[in-house]
């Protein structure tokens, strides 16, 4: 396919102008811009330092309660996608703060959400009638259309990262949302019920899941971190990703969420990864250690709780100065199902 539009002539331009009011457009005049030979995105590499996000949230807490805000969140908006509330072209990212004694009132929506807990020694979230406690590093799911509310019964502010598929739902014009009408939904199931039912390498005989999201809604950091620690003993490192595990839906082995793929990875001290790129723009969250990321020539250094974004098809190379753990999420599950996902490893 030729890469440039055919040259304009006065007659052609007059023709384009003439058909515009009739809601028509000449494909050949725009084709090169919409069918690109490789991904072209407004999304740019960027890092948010946790210290500045956290202090802005504390400042926000002086301005508005969690209840009045409904969710006291600062959106991490990609500077290349200004005004869009997007962190990548297809995904949303924010950091939420709940102060001691506050609740974020119950509501539901067709957007799916993940939480990655940044600071909490006992805040809770309730999803579909079950409560779970949130601890640092926990990965928590709110499947779409489930009632959810959050609360802080500790005496310290709590913070977590919210990842949602808002732009995907927006793209399909499929957004629905409603408030529960009370701050908290009734708790109808014991705490850790879903972890016991579906998270112990067993599930109730005859169980059939109607929904695509995992029935487990808290993947505790202690368990995931321990798995990485046990596995490192074999020294089987992926040249690009170190040791990278994906969170799964135990019912079918698919990704834990239908629209957002989530991973936890360990890079050992001194790791110097091979270059890689993939079509799923990815949001990384530092959990432990320190990393230097080379993203298409740009160097970004980041540590615990910092967030950075790697746009689609941007070459990435990760180097770790010390043992490092990263959480990440992307739209990979959707791309895989549509046959769009591509990954290039090394320079081939």
Binding site for ligand 1HN (CB under 6 A): 71, 73, 94, 96, 104, 109, 111, 113, 148, 150, 162, 164, 166
Q: Which is nearer to ligand 1HN, 148 or 314 (CB)?
A: 148
> In the complex, what is the shortest distance from the CB of residue 198 to ligand 1HN, in angstroms, rounded to a whole number?
22
Nearer to ligand 1HN, 149 or 306 (CB): 149
In the complex, minimum distance from the CB of residue 174 to ligand 1HN, in angstroms, rounded to a whole number: 14
CB of 324 to ligand 1HN, least distance (A): 27
The angle at the Cα of 136, spanning 131 to 138, to the nearest 5 degrees, equals 55
Q: Which residue's CB is nearer to ligand 1HN, number 283 or number 320? A: 283
Q: How far is the CB of 219 from ligand 1HN (least distance, A)?
A: 17
Question: Which of 122/270 has CB closer to ligand 1HN?
Answer: 122
Min separation Cβ 217 and ligand 1HN, Å: 13
| Closer CB to ligand 1HN, 95 or 195, in the complex | 95
Q: Residues 40-43: contacts with CB within 8 Å, 24+ apart? A: 41/80, 41/89, 41/281, 41/311, 41/312, 41/313, 42/78, 42/80, 42/81, 42/89, 43/78, 43/80, 43/81, 43/86, 43/88, 43/89, 43/281, 43/309, 43/311, 43/312
């Amino acid at each position: 396919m030729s890469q440039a539009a055919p040259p304009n002539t006065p007659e052609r331009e007059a023709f384009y102008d003439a058909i515009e009011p009739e809601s028509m457009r000449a494909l050949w005049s725009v084709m090169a811009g919409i069918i690109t030979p490789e991904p072209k995105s407004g999304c740019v590499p960027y890092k948010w330092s946790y210290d500045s996000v956290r202090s802005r949230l504390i400042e926000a807490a002086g301005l508005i309660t969690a209840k009045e805000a409904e969710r006291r969140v600062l959106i991490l908006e990609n500077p290349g996608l200004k005004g869009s509330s997007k962190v990548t072209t297809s995904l949303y990212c924010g950091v939420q703060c709940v102060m001691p004694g506050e609740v974020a009132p119950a509501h539901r929506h067709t957007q799916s959400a993940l939480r990655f807990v940044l600071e909490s020694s006992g805040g809770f979230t309730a999803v579909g009638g079950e409560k779970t406690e949130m601890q640092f590093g926990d990965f928590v799911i709110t499947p779409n259309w489930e009632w959810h509310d959050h609360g802080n019964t500790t005496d310290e502010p709590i913070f977590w990262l919210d990842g949602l598929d808002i732009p995907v739902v927006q793209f399909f014009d499929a957004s629905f949302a409603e408030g529960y009408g009370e701050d908290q939904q009734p708790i109808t199931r014991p705490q850790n019920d879903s972890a016991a039912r579906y998270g112990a390498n067993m599930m109730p005989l005859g169980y059939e899941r109607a929904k695509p999201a995992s029935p487990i809604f808290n993947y505790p950091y202690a368990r995931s971190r321990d798995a990485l620690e046990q596995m490192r003993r074999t020294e089987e490192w992926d040249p690009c990703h170190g040791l990278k595990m994906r969170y799964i839906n135990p019912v079918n082995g698919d990704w834990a969420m239908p629209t957002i793929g989530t991973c936890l990875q360990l890079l050992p001290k001194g790791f110097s990864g091979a270059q890689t790129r993939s079509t799923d723009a990815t949001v990384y969250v530092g959990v432990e250690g320190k990393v230097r990321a080379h993203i298409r020539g740009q160097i970004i250094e980041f540590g615990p709780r910092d967030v950075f974004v790697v746009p689609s098809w941007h070459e990435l190379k990760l180097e770790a100065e010390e043992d490092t753990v990263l959480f990440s999420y992307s739209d990979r599950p959707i791309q895989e199902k549509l046959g769009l996902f591509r990954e290039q490893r090394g320079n081939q």
